[in-house]
């Protein structure tokens, strides 16, 4: 099956991936990385969301371009009336694409549809201080979301 993906925060970040519907969401993540040549990104750095509105309609290119991050770094879109809409839970990496919670067995795409929102997350480890008499260092993991301005895709 062919899926149109959009990298959230990247202008003109639309691209197409061809993948077997029996493949897992994790395999889709790997295909996204190969297609976009993001060498420093690993599959676990990606979060994938179905690009569906609450009505069940797929986003189009303009809708995908309007997707922004909420305060927690999750994708959302703000409609013409100022209402915010999220895109549900991240797609489970162990699930098959043909699962009904993803695309379903009978998925058929239409012209102009965007199917997957790609959020690129990169973890940065930083020493945040020492505690106790043993002065053992604690390391905290920070997550930030890339906002792209490149046009690699």
Q: How many domains does the chain have?
A: 1
3-state secondary structure of 39: coil
Q: Is 151 within the bounds of a domain?
A: no
Return the CATH number at 29.
3.10.20.90
Q: Is 150 within the bounds of a domain?
A: no
**Phi/psi at 124 (5° precision):** -125, 125
pTM (predicted TM-score): 0.79
With a CB cutoff of 8 Å and minimum separation 6, the contacts of 59 are 6, 51, 52, 53, 67, 77, 113, 114, 117
Q: Is 99 within the bounds of a domain?
A: yes
Dump pLDDT digits (tens) for 35-75: 988 778 889 889 999 999 888 999 999 999 999 888 888 89
Domain holding 12, by residue range, is 2-145
Q: Is 153 within the bounds of a domain?
A: no
Q: Is 74 within the bounds of a domain?
A: yes
Query: Minimal CA–CA distance to 98: which of 33, 16, 28?
Result: 28
Dump pLDDT digits (tens) for 70-122: 888 889 998 888 888 889 899 999 999 999 999 999 999 999 999 999 998 86
Q: Is 75 within the bounds of a domain?
A: yes
Q: Is 13 within the bounds of a domain?
A: yes
Q: Is 114 within the bounds of a domain?
A: yes
Which strand (E) or helix (H) includes residue 48? strand 46-50
């Amino acid at each position: 099956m062919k899926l149109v993906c959009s990298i959230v925060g990247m202008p003109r970040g639309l691209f197409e991936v061809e993948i077997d519907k029996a493949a897992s969401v994790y395999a889709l993540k790997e295909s996204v990385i190969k297609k976009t040549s993001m060498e420093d990104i690993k599959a676990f750095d990606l979060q994938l969301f179905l690009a569906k509105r609450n009505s069940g309609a797929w986003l189009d290119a303009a809708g995908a371009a309007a997707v922004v991050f909420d305060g927690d770094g999750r994708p959302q879109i703000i409609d013409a009336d100022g209402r915010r809409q999220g895109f549900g839970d991240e797609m489970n990496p162990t699930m098959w694409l043909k699962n009904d919670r993803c695309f379903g067995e009978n998925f058929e795409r239409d012209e102009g549809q965007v199917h997957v929102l790609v959020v690129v997350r990169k973890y940065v480890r930083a020493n945040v201080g020492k505690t106790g008499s043993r002065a053992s260092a604690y390391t905290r993991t920070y997550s930030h979301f890339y906002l792209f301005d490149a046009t690699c895709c």
